[in-house]
Amino acid sequence: MLIFILLIVTISFSADVDTKLYEDGQKESYYQEIQNQISADEKGKKKTVEILKEERLYLQRVRSAASQDIQIDKYDLESLSNKSLTLDNYYSAVNFAALLHVKQNENRKILNTINSKSLFLKQAITNIIEEEKPKLFSYQLQYAYYKLQEKNIEAKIKLLQAHEQEIKKMLFSTLGLIECDKIGSIDEKLKLNDKDINVLSSQKVALQINLEKALIEDSTKVEQTQKKLDSAETQYQELINKKVVYKIEQSLCMLKEKKNKPFFQKISEIEFNIDEITLEHRFVHKEELNILREIAKGVFGTTKLFFGSTLHEIKGIFTQIQSYFVSAIFVFNEQPISLISLIKAIVLVIFGFFAGIFYKRWIARISRKWPDMSQMSIRLASNIGYYMIVTISFVIAIGSLGIDMTSISMIAGALSIGIGFGLQTVVSNFIAGVILMFERTIRIGDMIEISDKLRGRVTDMRIRSTTIKTFDNIDIVIPNSSFIQNNVINWTLEDPSRRLHIPFGVAYGTDVDYVKQIIINELKESKLTYINDDSTKEPEIWMIGMNNSRLDFELLVWVEWDSKLRPNSLKSDFLILIYNSLNKYGIEIPFPQLDLHVKHKSNKVLEIGAKE
């Protein structure tokens, strides 16, 4: 319901754009009606003075924009039709066409800005709120003014494009009429201009130094020096601009004479010089170069134009890339580090990692030839060699950067103190891993027990952690420090055999020797696997206690380590054997019993108790 009410309110407050303000052919009569309405609102005091003032202002702007006659400055095309066409005249046409293109770009930027404004106003009109309704007509006039401006700018852009194409057509057709007899004088002018540029560059540097001194000394010459520097900069820009113009005129003669390679070399030089010019002239000169390329396309053909420009562009790109790679990107310990040296160091480190991996594979391949070699020794040699190779490659990479290792060692020493506190656990695990690898108290393949619920086979040992595969086929990663700080049972450290204790009980009155005899005989006749070929590890039965309801015994039997993969199952097998044997020979297996004896008192005592 609330959404429905809001929807109705929104619709009631919305308004339509008055398109008659900028689309109708009879706009002036409509403008007069608006003028009369504004005057009537003023007399009736229906709107505030500020709103009426805005409406009059925008109505005046709308009338002006609607009646505006769009015109542009045009180039005298007849000056290009003369039989004797000078370089100055031809270049002036190129320059004018470039200016037209720059003006088009400027007008497009203005058009985009106006489009965003008109879009905002349209949304403000169509979604106007109640408080803004008195300003609705002001918004309408403002929106109409922007729409008329858009039309005028679009019309101006079309005129600029059309005239630019006219000039270009004349430039294409009159290229052969250029008089290049005085090209030598241009060369001389260019040399003199370069000398002036060098002199002025030296003056600029001297003025910059004087300005820095004046700023430091807080001298009164700061303003005077700054004016001289600004004047020198203006003169420098003028000389650079002349240099570009001279080179463009030279390239025009090269186009006329169809000199492909010299033309593109000259274009590359001009592009380099253009980067030194201020933005105001830079855009114009870049458009001049684009016009020259269009003319060159007609003179040399598309293929030669592509390969000629591409080769020079590629050379320029390679030169820039080379300078970028060689130049210093940062300074470390007063040693400049370039991108190429940094890449070389990274490659060396990566090579070290791959060399370490290759070394580990090589060790694994060699170990297959000696199957008797312990897995722990193989892993130890593999890991130590790997980390040594990586460390050496890292040191070589740092040395290739030209960095003094003594400073690195000092920094590493300072950092190690802080890192030591933050990485105590990691460091302790690392040291524990090294100790385990050298002591060999735990090896790959050993069966270990850390707690009642955590036991299994060691499948992998690393510097930081050790992997154990439990009897339930679960891989558990344990930090190495746990093996150093806690008690660990290694079932296979030296002797691979283990004695199992299997408890059982029989009833009181049973012959103890008879129980021992039948259990031992049944064990020997069974198919259970245990050690029976060692006189020191014969199965035994011990009587360990006399409980409330039974005699307690233990069967002690030795088993090999590979049988301990499932110790609980083994114990179960022996218990089943004992149970079946006792039942077979009719020996009672007791269960806990409680005898209750009730004593009765004499009648005399009961009577005395009753009298009381």
Q: Which of 112, 144, 175 is the last residue of a domain?
A: 175
* SS3 (DSSP) at 113: helix
Inside any domain, residue 328 = no
Cα–Cα distance measured from residue 386 to residue 395, given in angstroms and rounded to the nearest whole number: 14
- Note whether residue 130 is domain-resident: yes
As given in the structure block, the two tokens for residue 311 are 């080769």
Range of the domain at 117: 2-175
Q: Per DSSP, what are the bridge partners of residue 506? A: 551
Residue 375: half-sphere exposure toward Cβ, Cα within 13 Å: 10
Domain CATH number, residue 440? 2.30.30.60
Do residues 170 and 205 both lie within one domain?
A: no
The last residue of one of the domains, among 290, 321, 352, is 321
Indicate the residue type of 8. Answer: I
Longest Cα separation, the chain: 165
> Is 602 a domain residue?
no
Q: Which residues of 459-483 are buried (b: 16+ CB within 10 A; e: fewer)?
A: eebebbbbbbeeeeeeeeebbbbeb
Residues pairing with 64 in the sheet: none
* Pairs from 3-10 (Cβ < 8 Å, separation ≥ 24): 10/127
Q: What's the CA gap between 148 and 269, in Å, rounded?
A: 44
Q: Let me know whether 442 and 366 are in one domain.
A: no
Q: Is residue 329 domain-resident?
A: no
| Final residue of a structural domain among 372, 387, 422 | 422
Print burial letters for 280-310: b (CB count within 10 Å at least 16), e (below 16): ebebbbbbbbebbeebbeebbeeebbeebbe
| Residue position matching structure tokens 């149970």 | 579
Q: List CB contacts of 336: < 8 A, sequence separation 6 or more.
A: 328, 330
| Strand, helix or coil for residue 448 | strand
Domain identity same for 482 and 443: yes
Exposed, middle or buried, 249 (CB in 10 Å: 0-12/13-18/19+)? buried
Helices 87-126, 136-173: inter-axial angle, 10-degree rounding: 160
Q: Are residues 416 and 454 in the same domain?
A: no
- Look at residue 162 in the predicted model and tell me its pLDDT: 92
The CATH number that applies at residue 389 is 1.10.287
Determine the pLDDT at residue 361.
86
Cβ atoms of 277 and 285 closer than 8 Å: yes
- Find, among 357, 362, 411, the residue nearest to 386 by Cα: 357
Q: Are residues 150 and 76 in the same domain?
A: yes
Do residues 440 and 384 both lie within one domain?
no
From residue 524, how far is each of 236, 306, 563, 578 by CA, in Å?
112, 97, 18, 12
Q: What is the CATH number of the domain that holds 533?
A: 3.30.70.100
Give the pLDDT confidence score for residue 7 in this predicted structure. Answer: 38
Structural domains of the chain, count: 5
Give a yes or no: residue 427 inside a domain.
no
pLDDT at 1: 36
The rounded average pLDDT for each run of 10 residues, N- to C-terminus, in the chain (612 residues) is 37 65 77 86 83 87 86 85 79 89 90 87 83 84 88 91 90 84 79 88 86 75 84 88 87 83 82 81 86 82 53 55 67 68 87 88 80 65 82 84 63 63 72 76 80 80 82 85 82 75 89 90 85 84 87 88 55 88 88 72 50 44
* Residue 175: φ, ψ to 5°: -60, -40
Residue 356 is assigned to a structural domain of this protein:
yes
* 316 shares its domain with 353: no
Instruction: For 329, list phi and psi in degrees, rounded to 5.
Output: -95, -25
